[in-house]
């Protein structure tokens, strides 16, 4: 609600100053209007524009009162600031941060809210909340920075919260205790023991794998055998023990995990599975000759047990995370290398094609040469023999230096800079920002149009009340809209009168469109202002049409059913009469004395007014009933307000 409130008045501050111009230009409609214009809202006790002093913790700011009145739903723009008025010094005193107040005051002056980079995000948010300003209004120039800082702050808060999770909650189930023990080993001694035991066994397993292949001692008159084959049983027992420990650990983690499915998908659990699976597959498989080759390769996967150390080492985890986040940059580097390799391999192949006994038998065979040359390894197993080959080979090695051996930070930093630039550009173009911005625009559009529809009712009340000349209700009503708003609405009202059509909201429009099956008025190519309007957000307020049967009031009640009388006068006017539901007995048929303010709010929509505009000003309308049916007969209009 707050959002739409402030967005409703988000006609930019400078534009509000052009309202007199827009109203003056409305004189252009007058000669073509068929209907008389509504009365302009008067400015009661129009004040001369004066300077007001805002004292914020000792620093005095001065501005025009009108500047602050531009945003009536903020603290400074509304009467809320009177709470801070200091009688002795005749100024408004705020005990807040004067630095942030600068931005706040500039918002009133320019209509744009800026976020200063040196300011702490949470203090800025607090000040905005104090002064009743919605942060969404921050201008595009500073909005990204604001959002980034806010996100950082939120992440930091979340991290802090996670650190505090060590506090043991009472009544944790056994499962939860176990999970906490696994995740944070230092919470209990059992967990710590478990942590070290698993670590030890990981190390043992890795060392076993390594030692297995070392040739250890030779049986005389036989060549050297690796230890694995010599002490098969011992190694097998060790392997079994490790795998059993790992399996038990995995099953326990699986049991304790709060979300088993998510746990099974996580990287660490996949590593665990990959580490123990070869053993079981080996158990299952027999010493079949065919599959023993595959079996051997499976044992390679045992080395993945070393990755289990990442649970024990924070540094490994950070490294993995860094690699993951730089993946696209590395990928690009790899891609450019691949391009260079392919180019040079092709060139070398064709250059060396002529020479006999050339090792460059095919382009893929030349890949090896190119890689070795470009990384300046230079094994020498493949060398070009032709002159052309040598020339290109030297170019290849030089370019290898360029591509690889240059100080890598230059490339990395360059990529990082471009990457961040693109990221920022993408963020700007990204759906979220666009959507948020469009949503903001849409809200302000619908806000102002729905504000108009909303206050039409109030406006009618105003006019009706002027008849009864009761000032209290008038004051009560006029409080709700600011002068700026009422003037703007009067302008829109004049336009309605000029064209003899009314602004309605979307639902009502759809209804009448379907009912009438009328040919729609083709609008021209819309500008941005109406583009959102076209997309169905032109009017969002739901209309509540009440066709309540009229109760019998004791008053000289003037009940009329809701009718649509179509009297076509040159096909221009469609008139509808509306029903009046008086609330109390009164002399005048149009007396709208309201006893309680309840009917004034949105919810109640039972009261509609009929205002019959006759050539003379509406003061003559309290003549009663007779005019209502007579209305259609005249040239003039019965004004409808459908709620």
Partner 1 sequence: MSCRKRCKREIFKFAQYLFRLVTGTLSTDSVEDELELSTVRHRPEGLEQLEARTRFSRKELQILYRGFKNECPSGVVNEDTFKDIYAQFFPQGDASTYAHFLFNAFDTDHNGSVSFVDFVMGLSILLRGTVQEKLNWAFNLYDINKDGYITKEEMLDIMKAIYDMMGKCTYPVLKEETPRQHVEVFFQKMDKNKDGVVTIDEFIDCCQNDENIMRSMHLFENVL
Residues 101-130 that bind partner 1 (CB under 8 A): 109-110
Cα dihedral 580/584/588/593 (nearest 10): -90
The site map against partner 1 for 358-397 (x = CB under 8 A) is: ----------------------------------------
For residue 507, CA distances in Å to 504, 541, 544, 631 come to 8, 8, 10, 28
- Report if residue 166 touches partner 1, rule: CB under 8 A: no
Minimum distance of partner 1 from residue 191's CB (angstroms): 54
Q: Give whichever of 209 and 641 is closer to partner 1, judged by the CB atom.
A: 641
Task: Say if residues 573 and 496 touch (Cβ distance below 8 Å).
Answer: no
Minimum distance of partner 1 from residue 19's CB (angstroms): 7
- Report if residue 73 touches partner 1, rule: CB under 8 A: no
Minimum distance of partner 1 from residue 513's CB (angstroms): 5
Minimum distance of partner 1 from residue 518's CB (angstroms): 5
- Report if residue 45 touches partner 1, rule: CB under 8 A: no
Minimum distance of partner 1 from residue 582's CB (angstroms): 25
Task: Say if residues 127 and 115 touch (Cβ distance below 8 Å).
Answer: no
Handedness of CA 282, 288, 289, 291 (dihedral sign): negative
Q: Considering only residues 4, 198, 370, 448, which one is a binding residue for partner 1 as defined by CB under 8 A? A: 448
Handedness of CA 618, 623, 624, 628 (dihedral sign): negative
- Stretch 613-632 residues interacting with partner 1 (CB under 8 A): 615
DSSP run (H or E) holding 62 = strand 59-64
- Stretch 551-570 residues interacting with partner 1 (CB under 8 A): 570
Closest CA to 388 of 348, 358, 343: 348
Q: Give whichever of 256 and 575 is closer to partner 1, judged by the CB atom.
A: 575
Closest CA to 85 of 100, 65, 105, 104: 65
Give the range of 9-17, 150-158, 181-189, 327-335 binding partner 1 by CB under 8 A: 9-17
For residue 62, CA distances in Å to 51, 73, 85, 94, 104 come to 6, 20, 14, 13, 13
Task: Say if residues 585 and 554 touch (Cβ distance below 8 Å).
Answer: yes
Q: Any idea what DSSP says for residue 113?
A: B
Calpha distance 471→439 (Å, rounded) = 40
Calpha distance 158→173 (Å, rounded) = 24
Closest CA to 532 of 430, 451, 436, 441: 441
- Stretch 11-40 residues interacting with partner 1 (CB under 8 A): 11-37, 40
- Stretch 494-533 residues interacting with partner 1 (CB under 8 A): 494-496, 498-499, 501-506, 508-509, 512-513, 516, 518-524, 526-530, 533
Give the range of 293-301, 445-453, 456-464, 594-602 binding partner 1 by CB under 8 A: 445-453
Q: Give whichever of 375 and 499 is closer to partner 1, judged by the CB atom.
A: 499
- Report if residue 538 touches partner 1, rule: CB under 8 A: yes
Q: Applying CB under 8 A, what is the total number of residues that bind partner 1?
A: 81
Q: Give whichever of 28 and 220 is closer to partner 1, judged by the CB atom.
A: 28
Minimum distance of partner 1 from residue 352's CB (angstroms): 32
Q: Give whichever of 185 and 447 is closer to partner 1, judged by the CB atom.
A: 447
Task: Say if residues 252 and 175 touch (Cβ distance below 8 Å).
Answer: no
- Report if residue 571 touches partner 1, rule: CB under 8 A: yes
């Amino acid at each position: 609600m707050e959002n739409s409130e402030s967005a409703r008045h988000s006609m930019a501050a400078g534009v509000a100053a052009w309202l007199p111009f827009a109203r003056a230009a409305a004189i252009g409609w007058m000669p073509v209007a068929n209907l008389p214009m509504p009365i302009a809202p008067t400015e009661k006790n129009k004040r001369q524009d004066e300077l007001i002093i805002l004292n914020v913790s000792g620093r005095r700011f001065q501005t025009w009162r009108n500047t602050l009145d531009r945003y009536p739903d903020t603290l400074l723009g509304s009467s809320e600031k009177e709470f801070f008025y200091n009688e002795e010094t005749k100024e408004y005193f705020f005990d807040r941060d004067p630095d942030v107040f600068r931005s706040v005051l500039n918002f009133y002056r320019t209509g744009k809210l800026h976020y200063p980079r040196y300011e702490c995000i949470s203090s800025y948010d607090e000040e905005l909340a104090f002064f009743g300003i919605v942060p969404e209004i921050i201008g595009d120039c500073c909005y990204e920075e604001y959002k980034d800082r806010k996100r950082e702050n939120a992440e930091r808060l979340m991290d802090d919260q996670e650190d505090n999770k060590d506090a043991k909650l009472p009544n944790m189930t056994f499962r939860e205790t176990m999970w906490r023990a696994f995740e944070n080993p230092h919470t209990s001694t059992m967990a710590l023991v478990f942590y070290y035991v698993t670590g030890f066994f990981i190390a043992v397993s890795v060392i076993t794998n390594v030692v297995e292949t070392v040739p250890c001692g030779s049986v005389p008159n036989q060549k050297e055998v690796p230890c694995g084959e010599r002490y098969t049983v011992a190694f097998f027992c060790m392997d079994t023990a490790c795998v059993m420990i790992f399996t038990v650990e995995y099953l326990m983690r699986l049991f304790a995990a709060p979300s088993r499915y998510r746990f099974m998908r996580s990287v660490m659990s996949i590593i665990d599975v990959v580490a123990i699976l070869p053993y079981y597959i080996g158990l299952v498989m027999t010493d079949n000759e065919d599959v023993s080759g595959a079996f051997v390769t499976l044992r390679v996967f045992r080395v993945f047990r070393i990755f289990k150390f990442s649970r024990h080492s924070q540094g490994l985890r950070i490294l993995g995370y860094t690699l993951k986040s730089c993946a696209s940059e590395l990928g690009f580097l790899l891609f450019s290398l691949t391009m260079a390799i392919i180019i040079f391999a092709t060139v070398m192949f064709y250059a060396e094609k002529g020479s006999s006994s050339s090792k460059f038998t095919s382009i893929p065979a030349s890949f090896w040469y190119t890689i070795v040359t470009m990384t300046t390894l230079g094994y020498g197993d493949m060398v070009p023999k032709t002159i052309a080959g040598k020339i290109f080979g030297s170019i290849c090695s030089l370019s290898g230096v360029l591509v690889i051996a240059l100080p890598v930070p230059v490339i990395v930093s360059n990529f990082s800079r471009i990457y961040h630039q693109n990221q920022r550009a993408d963020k700007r173009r990204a759906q979220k920002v666009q959507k948020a911005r469009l949503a903001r625009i849409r809200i302000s559009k619908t806000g102002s149009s729905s504000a108009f529809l909303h206050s039409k009712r109030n406006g009618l009340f105003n006019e009706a009340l002027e008849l009864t000349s009761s000032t209290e209700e008038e004051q009560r009503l006029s409080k709700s809209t600011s002068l700026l708003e009422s003037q703007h609405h009067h302008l829109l009202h004049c336009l309605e009168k000029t064209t003899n059509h009314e602004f309605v909201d979307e639902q009502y429009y759809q209804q009448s469109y379907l009912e009438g099956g009328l040919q729609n008025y083709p609008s021209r190519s819309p500008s941005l202002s109406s583009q959102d309007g076209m997309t169905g957000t032109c009017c969002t307020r739901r209309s509540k049409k009440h066709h309540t049967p009229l109760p019998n009031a004791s008053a000289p009640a003037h009940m009329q059913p809701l009718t649509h009388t179509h009297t076509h006068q040159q096909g221009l006017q469609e008139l509808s009469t509306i029903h009046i539901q008086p609330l109390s007995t009164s002399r005048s048929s149009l007396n709208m004395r309201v006893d309680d303010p309840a009917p004034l709010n949105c919810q109640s929509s039972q009261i509609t007014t009929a205002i019959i505009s006759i050539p003379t000003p509406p003061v003559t309308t309290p003549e009663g009933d007779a005019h209502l049916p007579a209305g259609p007969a005249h040239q003039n209009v019965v004004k409808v307000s459908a709620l």
